[in-house]
A and B are shown apart, each in its own frame.
Chain A
Amino acid sequence: MILRLAIASLFARALTVGMTILAIALSVALFLGVEKVRTGAKASFADTISGTDLIVGARAGSVQLLLYSVFRIGNATNNVTWESYQDIAARPDVEWIVPISLGDSHRQFRVMGTTQAFFEHYKYRQGRSLAVSDGAIMDDLFDTVISADVAATLGYKIDDPIIVAHGLASFTEHKDQPFRVSGILKKTGTPVDRTVIISMEAIEAIHVDWQTGAQVPGQATPADVIRGMELTPKAITAALVGVESPLQTFALQRAINQYAEEPLLAILPGVALQELWGIVGIAETALLAVSAMVVVTALIGMMATIFSSLNERRREMAIFRAMGARPFTILSMLVLEAMVMAAIGAVFGLVLLYIGLFIGQPILDSAFGLWLPIDTPSIREVWVIVGVICAGAIVSLVPALRAYRMSVADGMMVKT
């Protein structure tokens, strides 16, 4: 009966109570939303590359290798010679190996030289493969496959010509050897989306007339002559490696790290991703802290509402007291009321979150490659709701204690 009366009392103050509940609901939805985005971003991040057992590059930091080989951020300080690459490729425990050659660019996008095997072995988001949305994987020397973002940003269609610039943010272009867009990849939500892919041989081809980073003046080998040339790469930037059996991963890693002919580094992508997330993760923790503060603010708002209702409810409290309610009952009723508000707010917040997820999921996925799964509420989310209800109870103790003192002082008489 007391609970029913408490709820009836809340209904009688529907407007202010509704606003308070709305504030709590929005703050809880925000908090849970940030939490969702955080875990989703972390998962998407970890899903950037999957199925690759080792990434091999010139010796540097593991995060640096990961950054330039997978995220196209920063540059390799050194290359891996073609001989070393072939040595590794020839090892019996290597099931497959995909070379990557970076260093050139097209507009703001990086150009990556690789082989057909890249499309076969590069996996993201738990084993999904790259797929073309339009056209086909390149098969001519001067073909290029561009990714979704490149096509969208620069407005390219199949068969459009592309001129690759030498280096990054450079004004010298490989004008003599224009490429043709042969395929456009589907959006993946990985750095591949911001990459122009050409073949390893093409990387060699466009540098035929170049020496030590500059075009030899007056020298321009015609395309058909280049096609006839031996276009074996001299060096690569990095290589993605798959092993025959997962058990051999560590042995192969050690062997590559101790490779005598050249200082090399092999990293486990998962481990390096975690290391990198450790750096990036500070920002998301800060975001979570801010949204937690919003929840606290909403609860303090509720406290203020209860405080301001106390004076107009003195009569109500006096009636309860006259009927034999103890001051503690008055206190409990106010705490109960706050808990009911917090509970309704928190559950409503959860509902808002799911509505938001249903609307936002496809948009976030296509715009940012951020996939937020819609699951039943996790244990963590349930704890958040329980936490909000408990926090609501604790916060309401402040006005409830005041009501307690008021009802002791007033007794059943109210001088209003």
Chain B
Amino acid sequence: MTDTTLEITNVAYRWPGRAGFSLTVPHLSIAKGESVLLLGESGSGKSTFLSLICGTILPDRGRVDVAGTDITTLSGGQRDKLRAEQIGVIFQQFNLLPFGSVMDNILLPLRFAPARRERTGDATAAASQLCAALGLPTGVTRAKSTALSVGQQQRVAVARALIGQPPLIIADEPTSALDANSQAAFLDLLFAQTTTHNTSLLMVSHDPRLGERFDRVIRMEDIAQIERAAA
């Protein structure tokens, strides 16, 4: 294990079908346990950047090292497996499968990550503990995920990202669907967990006010260049 959870070197990505429209990221690294807020307006290439880290798209050149593995050398299936093992993902909203119970949703990534499941040990107990730590009511794991409030759903999504302690959490505007009070409470809980487990956190937001709680704040335009050819 290196001290760097995520390292991006000289990455360039050209959107298919759109000539001259490309994203380049010269360098970015996130240390183990570090929390980083990535600020960027919509259309700044944030989604593409996250997809590159998660390995659902491949850069045209450069390296993306996740937990010491260069994912650009891996096959599609291997990248999917690596994502399942090493990265916890939290979306903006609608994180949960509506037809599954809370427990189903939390355990879902373990289904695709045997090593992470191994690490977790008693998965249902771990899920219950996480729910308790995140301030969710006891017995919530049996509830249908649609029965929960948006704030509760986001906390379940955190539990799902944290289960089995992956080294990196990627959060894509997880608080944008929450009101200010809930936002603060949500971040308190999230940070409590990432600190406890020494997990790296890369959170994307357009809201600079969140910055003071992070180790480091970076702006999309500082780390990446987007080229737009005249149409």
Determine whether the beta carbon of B100 is less than 8 Å from that of A326: no
Q: Closest A residue to B107 by CB, please name it.
A: A1
Determine whether the beta carbon of B51 is less than 8 Å from that of A413: yes
- Fill in one digit per residue for B77-89: 1 if any A CB lies within 8 Å of its CB, else 0: 1001101110001
Interface residues of B, dominant DSSP: helix
Whether a CB of chain B sits under 8 angstroms from the CB of A161 is no
User: What CA separation (Å) do A11 and B99 show in the bound complex?
Assistant: 8
In the bound complex, residues from chain A placing their C-beta under 8 Å from that of B112 are 323-326, 329
* Number of residues on chain B facing chain A (CB within 8 A): 30
In the bound complex, residues from chain B placing their C-beta under 8 Å from that of A1 are 104, 107-108, 111
What is the distance, in angstroms, from A324's C-beta to the closest C-beta of chain B? 2
Of A58-66, A232-240, A274-282, A313-321, which binds chain B?
A313-321
Of B19-27, B59-67, B90-98, which binds chain A?
B90-98
In the bound complex, residues from chain A placing their C-beta under 8 Å from that of B91 are 318-319, 322
User: What CA separation (Å) do A2 and B97 show in the bound complex?
Assistant: 12
* Number of residues on chain A facing chain B (CB within 8 A): 25
Determine whether the beta carbon of A411 is less than 8 Å from that of B57: yes
In the bound complex, residues from chain B placing their C-beta under 8 Å from that of A413 are 47, 50-51, 56
In the bound complex, residues from chain B placing their C-beta under 8 Å from that of A327 are 76
Most buried by B among A8, A323, A413: A323
Interface residues of A, dominant DSSP: helix
What is the distance, in angstroms, from A409's C-beta to the closest C-beta of chain B? 9
Evaluate whether A323 and B104 lie within 8 angstroms (CB atoms) in the complex, with A5-B97, A5-B99, A411-B54 already known.
Answer: no
User: What CA separation (Å) do A350 and B47 show in the bound complex?
Assistant: 50
In the bound complex, residues from chain A placing their C-beta under 8 Å from that of B85 are 324
Whether a CB of chain B sits under 8 angstroms from the CB of A202 is no
Q: Give B85-127 interface residues, CB cut-off 8 Å to A.
A: 85, 89, 91, 94-100, 104, 107-109, 111-113
Evaluate whether A9 and B99 lie within 8 angstroms (CB atoms) in the complex, with A324-B84, A412-B56 already known.
Answer: yes
User: What CA separation (Å) do A245 and B152 show in the bound complex?
Assistant: 88
What is the distance, in angstroms, from B150's C-beta to the closest C-beta of chain A? 15
In the bound complex, residues from chain A placing their C-beta under 8 Å from that of B50 are 413
Across the interface, A324 reaches (CB within 8 A) one of B81, B98, B104, B107, namely: B81
Determine whether the beta carbon of A324 is less than 8 Å from that of B95: no
Q: Closest A residue to B170 by CB, please name it.
A: A322
Whether a CB of chain B sits under 8 angstroms from the CB of A379 is no
Determine whether the beta carbon of A326 is less than 8 Å from that of B77: yes
Determine whether the beta carbon of B113 is less than 8 Å from that of A411: no
Determine whether the beta carbon of B99 is less than 8 Å from that of A324: no
Determine whether the beta carbon of A319 is less than 8 Å from that of B95: yes
Evaluate whether A323 and B77 lie within 8 angstroms (CB atoms) in the complex, with A315-B94, A412-B54 already known.
Answer: no
What is the distance, in angstroms, from A267's C-beta to the closest C-beta of chain B? 66
Whether a CB of chain B sits under 8 angstroms from the CB of A12 is yes
Evaluate whether A12 and B89 lie within 8 angstroms (CB atoms) in the complex, with A1-B107, A5-B104 already known.
Answer: no
User: What CA separation (Å) do A323 and B47 show in the bound complex?
Assistant: 16
Across the interface, A8 reaches (CB within 8 A) one of B77, B100, B107, namely: B100
In the bound complex, residues from chain A placing their C-beta under 8 Å from that of B47 are 413
Q: Closest B residue to A410 by CB, please name it.
A: B56
Determine whether the beta carbon of A412 is less than 8 Å from that of B76: no
User: What CA separation (Å) do A8 and B51 show in the bound complex?
Assistant: 29
Determine whether the beta carbon of A412 is less than 8 Å from that of B51: yes
Q: Closest A residue to B146 by CB, please name it.
A: A12
User: What CA separation (Å) do A1 and B99 show in the bound complex?
Assistant: 13
Q: Give A321-343 interface residues, CB cut-off 8 Å to B.
A: 321-329
User: What CA separation (Å) do A323 and B112 show in the bound complex?
Assistant: 7
User: What CA separation (Å) do A316 and B97 show in the bound complex?
Assistant: 6
Most buried by B among A1, A320, A322, A327: A322
Q: Give A1-42 interface residues, CB cut-off 8 Å to B.
A: 1-2, 4-5, 8-9, 11-12
Across the interface, A326 reaches (CB within 8 A) one of B76, B89, B98, B113, namely: B76
In the bound complex, residues from chain B placing their C-beta under 8 Å from that of A411 are 51, 54, 56-57
In the bound complex, residues from chain B placing their C-beta under 8 Å from that of A325 are 80, 84, 112
In the bound complex, residues from chain B placing their C-beta under 8 Å from that of A318 are 91
- Fill in one digit per residue for A380-412: 1 if any B CB lies within 8 Å of its CB, else 0: 000000000000000000000000000000011
What is the distance, in angstroms, from A85's C-beta to the closest C-beta of chain B? 79
User: What CA separation (Å) do A5 and B112 show in the bound complex?
Assistant: 14
| Cβ contacts A to B, 24 pairs, < 8 Å | A1-B104, A2-B111, A5-B104, A8-B99, A9-B99, A11-B99, A315-B94, A316-B97, A319-B96, A319-B97, A319-B108, A322-B54, A322-B83, A323-B89, A324-B80, A324-B85, A324-B109, A326-B81, A328-B77, A411-B54, A412-B54, A413-B47, A413-B50, A413-B56
- Partner-A contacts on B (CB < 8 A): 47, 50-51, 54, 56-57, 76-77, 80-81, 83-85, 89, 91, 94-100, 104, 107-109, 111-113, 160
3 tightest Cβ-Cβ pairs between the two chains A and B: A324-B84, A411-B56, A324-B112
**Given A323-B109, A325-B112, A412-B56, 13 more pairs with CB closer than 8 A:** A1-B108, A5-B100, A5-B104, A8-B104, A9-B97, A315-B94, A316-B97, A316-B98, A318-B91, A322-B91, A323-B111, A327-B76, A412-B89
